[in-house]
């Protein structure tokens, strides 16, 4: 599905012009988010693993080149150049799972300008989506306060690989797993699943559906109980649990799922039915239009729910389905560059972010510096590719997940609130003196 032609046309026409005019010097591009969406005080970087894979394997096939020749916009020498083109640059990036703030570069490409420009659209396409969903996932994880979360969103994700990478992003963010089988295979993520209303309805009696499902899943089941009457179904589950306990070998009903109605109310009544019948071990999980706000409310209200399936709200980041993420030229041929379009001023030059911490590890402040400067704390952008080859430091998904949990916990508490309170100060991101001085000197020089 993904080819090197998954690119905006202008990347190729600009490349033709760079090629024709001998512009082969090194460019520095940085990927950053200009402003955070409403109710976000931090985002979490993701997508690096796939970005590195894209850059490592970038090449134009004979078929790609034939198509480009057919559209008649490109010269033969340029197409021949594309035939042997590989990405030969360096990449510095924040490891996946790192929280970041507005205007901080999360990935920096240093390469001959033709290469660095060519990869713009696809790099954004990869990093934007995974950062978007990981950031949304972290909000759900914060809301759930330790209760398990499962990604149920495949059906309403934006096509196939959005579903796969949403599952990966959710896991990175701290979800326990996904219902999407291919994501389980591809990324080694734990798989979870229950049963659908249609399965119940295909049987003449709900009880038959429960029995059939249990008999086909000796490892234990989660039964869906809201197809007709949730409480009547809960009593049926109790009867079945009694019967199953008497069997040899015994079979288990691990949990029930409620997917509609007033979830808090239903969960309390079902919990009560199970507890009175002597089945405190049967868990109750909820799904159905959940987002971080519903989850937070139910957890705060101590609704007896043991886990949550999150679908659409997660997989499309429903309240903020896109980020203001850009990939900007910061330097070419050794000179810092900056556009002056109204409302789009930015900090020029190749940059680094230093993160200072309190003695307990809590994040205290960031400093946006020019590359080569030092500041308090440690630099966040590490070398991930050199000369077109992957560095040893590209972290695995499991490592990124661990980093994400630790670093989100290290954020000042006010920043982890789900909604803007108006009272929380934003994360302090200081601009280094050298960067201020560079901007002043560029302003003086004009363009």
DSSP 3-state of 310: strand
Give 88 or 326: the residue with its C-beta nearer to its own copies. Answer: 326
339 binds its own copies (CB under 8 A): yes
Listed ranges 6-14, 276-284, 355-363, 437-445: which one lies at the site for its own copies (CB under 8 A): 6-14
Q: Which of 88, 121, 231, 365 binds its own copies (CB under 8 A)?
A: 121
Residue 406 beta carbon to its own copies: minimum distance, rounded to whole angstroms: 27
Listed ranges 92-100, 216-224, 272-280, 373-381: which one lies at the site for its own copies (CB under 8 A): 216-224
Site residues (CB under 8 A) for its own copies, limited to 20-49: 20-21, 23, 27, 29
Please give the span between the terminal C-alpha atoms of the chain, in angstroms, as a whole number: 42
Site residues (CB under 8 A) for its own copies, limited to 56-75: 67-68, 71-73
Give 149 or 375: the residue with its C-beta nearer to its own copies. Answer: 149
CA-to-CA distance for 295 and 304, rounded, in angstroms?
12
Exposure on the CB side of residue 282, measured as CA atoms within 13 A: 32
Residue 173 beta carbon to its own copies: minimum distance, rounded to whole angstroms: 16
Token code pair at residue 419:
């909604």
Listed ranges 3-11, 84-92, 101-109, 244-252: which one lies at the site for its own copies (CB under 8 A): 3-11
Handedness of CA 436, 410, 412, 94 (dihedral sign): positive
Q: Which of 317, 350, 352, 403 binds its own copies (CB under 8 A)?
A: 317
CA 361 to the chain's CA centroid:
24
Q: Which of 44, 51, 144, 164 binds its own copies (CB under 8 A)?
A: 164
Site string for its own copies, 226-265 (x = CB under 8 A): xxxx-----------------------------xxxx---
CA-to-CA distance for 31 and 16, rounded, in angstroms?
23
CA-to-CA distance for 361 and 340, rounded, in angstroms?
38
Site residues (CB under 8 A) for its own copies, limited to 399-428: none
Listed ranges 140-148, 149-157, 244-252, 385-393: which one lies at the site for its own copies (CB under 8 A): 149-157
Give 240 or 367: the residue with its C-beta nearer to its own copies. Answer: 240
Give 9 or 437: the residue with its C-beta nearer to its own copies. Answer: 9
CA-to-CA distance for 121 and 47, rounded, in angstroms?
14
User: To 5 degrees, how large is the angle CA 380–CA 383–CA 387?
Assistant: 155
Residue 342 beta carbon to its own copies: minimum distance, rounded to whole angstroms: 4
Q: Which of 138, 143, 154, 170 binds its own copies (CB under 8 A)?
A: 154
Residue 185 beta carbon to its own copies: minimum distance, rounded to whole angstroms: 5
278 binds its own copies (CB under 8 A): no
Q: Which of 129, 175, 274, 354 binds its own copies (CB under 8 A)?
A: 129
**283-286 vs 90-93, strand pairing mode:** unpaired
Exposure on the CB side of residue 155, measured as CA atoms within 13 A: 6
Measure Cα distances from 53 to 1, 58, 123, 157, 381 in Å: 15, 8, 11, 23, 18
CA-to-CA distance for 147 and 283, rounded, in angstroms?
12
Are 402 and 396 in contact by the 8 Å Cβ rule? The answer is: no
Q: Directed axis angle between helix 263-276 and helix 292-300, to 10°?
A: 40
Residue 380: name the closest of 405, 407, 401, 402 by CA: 407
Q: Which residues make Cβ contacts (< 8 Å) with residue 77, sequence separation at least 6? A: 19
Listed ranges 139-147, 211-219, 242-250, 267-275: which one lies at the site for its own copies (CB under 8 A): 211-219
Q: Which of 100, 152, 308, 347 binds its own copies (CB under 8 A)?
A: 152
Residue 87 beta carbon to its own copies: minimum distance, rounded to whole angstroms: 17
351 binds its own copies (CB under 8 A): no
Residue 230 beta carbon to its own copies: minimum distance, rounded to whole angstroms: 8
Listed ranges 239-247, 279-287, 323-331, 376-384: which one lies at the site for its own copies (CB under 8 A): 323-331
Site string for its own copies, 167-196 (x = CB under 8 A): ------------xxxx-xx-----xxxxxx
- Under DSSP, the state recorded for 216 is H
Size of the site for its own copies (CB under 8 A): 106
Residue 78 beta carbon to its own copies: minimum distance, rounded to whole angstroms: 9
Give 6 or 378: the residue with its C-beta nearer to its own copies. Answer: 6
**Which helix H or strand E contains 124, and what residues bound it?**
helix 120-144
Site residues (CB under 8 A) for its own copies, limited to 87-116: 113
CA-to-CA distance for 132 and 314, rounded, in angstroms?
10
Residue 283: name the closest of 307, 264, 311, 310 by CA: 307
Measure Cα distances from 175 to 132, 189, 191, 389 in Å: 15, 10, 11, 31
């Amino acid at each position: 599905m993904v080819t090197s032609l998954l690119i905006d046309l202008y990347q190729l026409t600009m490349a033709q012009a760079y090629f024709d005019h001998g512009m082969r010097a090194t460019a520095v591009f940085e990927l950053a988010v200009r402003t955070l969406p409403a109710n976000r005080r931090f985002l979490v970087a993701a997508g690096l693993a796939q970005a590195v894979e894209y850059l490592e394997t970038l090449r134009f096939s004979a078929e790609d080149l034939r198509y480009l020749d057919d559209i008649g916009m490109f010269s033969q020498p340029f197409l021949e150049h594309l035939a042997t083109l590989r990405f030969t640059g360096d990449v510095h990036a924040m490891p996946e799972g790192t929280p970041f703030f507005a205007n901080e570069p999360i990935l920096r490409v240093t390469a001959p300008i033709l290469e660095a420009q060519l990869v713009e659209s696809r790099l954004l396409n990869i990093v934007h989506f995974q950062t978007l969903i990981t950031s949304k996932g972290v909000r759900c994880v914060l809301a759930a306060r330790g209760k398990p979360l499962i990604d149920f969103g495949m059906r309403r994700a934006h096509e196939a690989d959005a579903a796969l990478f949403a599952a990966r992003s959710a896991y990175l963010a701290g979800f326990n797993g996904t219902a999407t089988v291919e994501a389980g295979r591809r990324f080694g993520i734990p798989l979870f699943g229950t049963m659908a209303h249609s399965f119940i309805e295909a049987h003449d009696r709900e009880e038959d559906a429960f029995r059939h499902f249990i008999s086909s899943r000796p490892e234990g089941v989660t039964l869906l109980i809201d197809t007709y009457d949730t409480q009547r179904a809960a009593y049926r589950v109790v009867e079945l649990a009694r019967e199953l306990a008497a069997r040899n070998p015994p079979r288990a009903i691990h949990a029930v799922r409620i997917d509609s109605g007033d979830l808090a109310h239903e969960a309390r009544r079902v919990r009560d039915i199970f507890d009175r019948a002597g089945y405190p071990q049967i868990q109750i999980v909820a799904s159905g239009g959940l987002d971080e706000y519903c989850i937070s409310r139910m957890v705060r209200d101590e609704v007896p729910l043991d886990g949550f399936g999150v679908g659409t709200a997660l997989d499309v980041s429903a309240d903020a389905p896109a980020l203001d993420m850009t990939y900007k030229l910061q330097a070419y041929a050794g000179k810092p560059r900056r556009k002056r379009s109204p409302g789009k001023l930015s900090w020029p030059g190749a940059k680094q972010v230093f993160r200072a911490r309190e003695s307990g590890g809590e994040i205290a402040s960031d400093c946006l510096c020019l590359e080569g400067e030092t500041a308090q704390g440690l630099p966040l952008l590490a070398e991930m590719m050199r000369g077109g080859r992957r560095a040893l430091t590209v972290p695995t998904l499991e490592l990124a997940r661990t980093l994400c949990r630790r670093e989100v916990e290290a954020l000042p508490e006010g920043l982890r609130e789900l909604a803007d309170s108006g009272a929380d100060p934003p994360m302090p991101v200081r601009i280094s003196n050298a960067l201020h001085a560079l901007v002043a000197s560029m302003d003086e020089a004009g363009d």
